[in-house]
A and B are shown apart, each in its own frame.
Chain A
Amino acid sequence: DAKTTQPPSMDCAEGRAANLPCNHSTISGNEYVYWYRQIHSQGPQYIIHGLKNNETNEMASLIITEDRKSSTLILPHATLRDTAVYYCIVGDYKLSFGAGTTVTVRA
């Protein structure tokens, strides 16, 4: 069973920030939060992960609440190529994919 809850879909304007929420209220102390995305007909692509601190890399930022029960993935300047299904996953080496959020970036 997926241990995360994400909105099924969201739209975003090109050039604007996209904020993708994820609830993981049953996360345990040693479980990381991972984000992946899957562009149509491709294998999933890693975006970012974190344990308790906020993280940033060249693709995105990850904001984790202090109680670790939810997180937000931020794509700072969305482009049309960011249109994909985004998966929030908590756990260890075995990834359990939920339904994800279908993000559509519109010009």
Chain B
Amino acid sequence: SAVISQKPSRDICQRGTSLTIQCQVDSQVTMMFWYRQQPGQSLTLIATANQGSEATYESGFVIDKFPISRPNLTFSTLTVSNMSPEDSSIYLCSVEGQGVATEAFFGQGTRLTVV
């Protein structure tokens, strides 16, 4: 299993500012994933972050809005840039287990409110 810590757990931010969310894993993992969960909705994958390469973004998400860093095998950050109220969501970090077709582990999420 993997234990994931996300910081901050919640924040209230002014529109036009940026917030960087940190994700720390207690073991080395190849792939890390960032999801967004808008109020009352399901999870949507933002991007996949591999160490040593650029993140791969899903349709509808761009690097300028959601820059991601992956400096090592246990850590990643997601920045929500130039925020608007529409960015108010829960942002979750996830990692894949070891081996083939194993379970994924999720952090508890960062609850972001933009005012």
Chain A residues at the B interface, C-beta cutoff of 8 Å:
32, 34, 36, 42-46, 49, 51, 87, 92-100
25 chain-A/chain-B pairs, Cβ below 8 angstroms? A34-B103, A42-B108, A42-B109, A43-B4, A43-B92, A43-B94, A43-B106, A43-B107, A43-B109, A44-B92, A44-B106, A49-B101, A49-B103, A93-B96, A94-B33, A94-B45, A95-B33, A95-B43, A95-B94, A95-B104, A97-B43, A97-B44, A98-B42, A99-B42, A100-B42
Chain B residues at the A interface, C-beta cutoff of 8 Å:
4, 31, 33, 35, 42-45, 48, 92, 94, 96, 101, 103-109
Interface of B is mostly: strand
How many Å from the CB of A62 to the closest CB on chain B?
13
Give 16 new A-B contacts, CB below 8 A, not counting A44-B106, A95-B94, A97-B44: A32-B101, A43-B106, A43-B107, A44-B43, A44-B92, A44-B94, A44-B104, A46-B103, A46-B105, A49-B103, A93-B31, A94-B48, A95-B33, A95-B45, A97-B35, A97-B43
- How far is A45 from B106 in the complex, measured between Cα atoms in Å? 7
Chain A residues contacting B108 (CB-CB under 8 Å) are 42-43
- How far is A96 from B35 in the complex, measured between Cα atoms in Å? 10
